[in-house]
A and B are shown apart, each in its own frame.
Chain A
Amino acid sequence: MSEPSKEPDGATETVARTLLVAFFVSLVCSSFVASAAVLLKPRQVANALLDMRRNILDVAGLLDPEGDVNEIYEKIEQRSVDLETGAYIETAGPEGRGHAIVYLVRTDEEVSRIVLPVSGPGLWSTLYGFLALEADANTVADITFYAHAETPGLGDFISKPEWRGLWRSKRAFDDSGNLMIEVVKGRVSADDPLADYRVDGVSGATLTGKGVTDLVRHWLGDDGYGPYLRRLRQGDSP
């Protein structure tokens, strides 16, 4: 390719010149990037928070496409729970080990839904979602997975509204308090006696379904919100 401009002459190639140019390019570029990062951070944090709130409202059944997310979010009560004892932690402070945040939906002073953050490994990625239980701390109201990187067309069935709808009215625990909920291979047949505890899986995406079962059982079990939910089922007011 022909070059209309001059080749760099000997003066450009000295060690001193090279170091000088490298230094100034680095200085300018790093200032540019650092300024952008610092100036944009508040907006990014606000966006991430809004997105999280939108997901919580979605699974709480309160999401209104026309409404203002932050306004509707006033209906949500955020509480810290000590996972081991299941008791609420009153002091405001940074989240510690063994603590988790749950979100309560209050309608007219009564709690109508309990929203629990859940997460766990799927096939290719970590699944992040919210599980919403009815006030009895057993019946499932809704579930959503807002972040995952499962196979498009197969494992991403966990994002589909039709599959999400299958969770409604499923029960997590049986009458003796055993954790029964699971995602099965294939379809749950209508005359299955345990149908209340089972959700359809998708053939070809068994491992994603298993990931969902494992993470839901972890978080509803004794290592997760189990003690908290047991306390509520025994009559403590949420």
Chain B
Amino acid sequence: MKSSAKRALIDPIVDNNPVTLHVLGICSALAVTTSLLPSLYMCLALTLVAALSNTAVSTIRRILPSSIRIIVQMTIIASLVIVVDESLQAFAFETSRELSVFVGLIITNCIVLGRTESFASKNPVGLSFLDGVGNGLGYSVILIIVASARELLGAGTLLGYTILPTVADGGWYSPNGMMLLPPSAFFVIGLIIWAVRSWKVEQVEKPEFRIHEVHRTEVL
């Protein structure tokens, strides 16, 4: 794979992760990650939408007038989201019930529109496709970690299989109820961001202002 293609695909997983570096797409990360299975479907849906919308926008990038580019991108993304939602209802009915409105809300997910506007509108089709997939993967990695933590600690299960038998079922594990509530996703994402920035120090933003001593002769 050419290095630019490789970078488009791999960078968004850690170095340029849309959730942990750009802090985008948090809303759905909170809402669907109560258990792992719906989250997996959400990851699949978003990756598909990001990849296909990037491809579509990149295909028409040279003929798209600047005055309508945002609304056209939104139209493309919204159409893809509707088709994905309908497909889920047709092929994975139970999960579509659990995901309810959140698949439809992918259109509001900043990651998708952000990539079509900043990357796909200026780059060739192949690269744009890979960028969409890469960002989808970056988002998926975070969602899978958060959902696994929340389902495991909140209910003692993973994908519905019991890993930590709960007290209610005669086991030893007292489930952490907070993990089933949305704010816990914030906490887990915060911990992930902390961990990633300890590992990849270059992601830590420089402080905008440093406190320093001011001498009386210094002009403020």
The residues of A with any CB-CB pair to B shorter than 8 Å are 1, 3-6, 8, 12-13, 17-18, 21-22, 25-26, 29-30, 32-33, 36-37, 40, 43-44, 47-48, 50-51, 152-153
Contact = CB atoms under 8 A, between A and B. Distances in A.
Given A4-B122, A4-B123, A21 B87 contact: no
Contacts of B97: 51
A32 B79 contact: yes
B82 interface: yes
Interface of B: 34, 60-68, 72, 75-76, 78-79, 82-83, 86-87, 89-91, 93-94, 97, 118, 122-123, 177, 180-181
B177 A33 contact: no
Contacts of B123: 4-5
7 contacts: A33-B83, A36-B82, A36-B87, A40-B90, A44-B89, A152-B181, A153-B181
Contact of B87 (A6, A40, A153): A40
Q: Chain A binding site: helix, strand, loop or mixed by DSSP?
A: helix
Contact of B67 (A13, A32, A47): A13
B90 A8 contact: no
A13 B67 CA distance: 8
Main secondary structure of the interface of B (DSSP, over half): helix
Given A25-B76, A51-B93, A13 B68 contact: no
Given A36-B86, A40-B87, A29 B65 contact: no
Nearest to B72: A25
A21 B122 contact: no
A112 to B, nearest CB: 28
A22 B74 CA distance: 12
A199 B65 CA distance: 65
Contact of A21 (B34, B72, B83, B89): B72
A152 B177 CA distance: 11
A5 to B, nearest CB: 6
A44 B85 CA distance: 11
B90 A21 contact: no
A4 B123 CA distance: 7
A26 B83 contact: no
B89 A40 contact: yes
Contact of A40 (B64, B86, B177): B86
A47 B177 CA distance: 33
B167 to A, nearest CB: 14
Given A6-B62, A43-B91, A152-B181, 10 more contacts: A5-B122, A5-B123, A8-B64, A12-B63, A13-B65, A29-B75, A32-B79, A47-B89, A51-B97, A153-B180
A8 B76 contact: no
B89 A8 contact: no
Contacts of B62: 5-6, 8, 12
Nearest to A40: B90
A21 B93 contact: no
A18 B177 contact: no
B60 A21 contact: yes
Contact of A12 (B65, B83, B86, B89): B65
Contact of A44 (B34, B83, B86): B86
B131 to A, nearest CB: 13
A202 B76 CA distance: 47
A47 B91 CA distance: 8
Contacts of B72: 21-22, 25
A119 B204 CA distance: 53
A44 B90 contact: yes
A48 B97 CA distance: 10
Contacts of A40: 86-87, 89-90
A47 B61 CA distance: 39
Contacts of A6: 62
Contact of A29 (B34, B79, B89, B181): B79
Contacts of A1: 118, 122
Contacts of B64: 8, 12, 21
Nearest to B87: A40
B90 A43 contact: yes
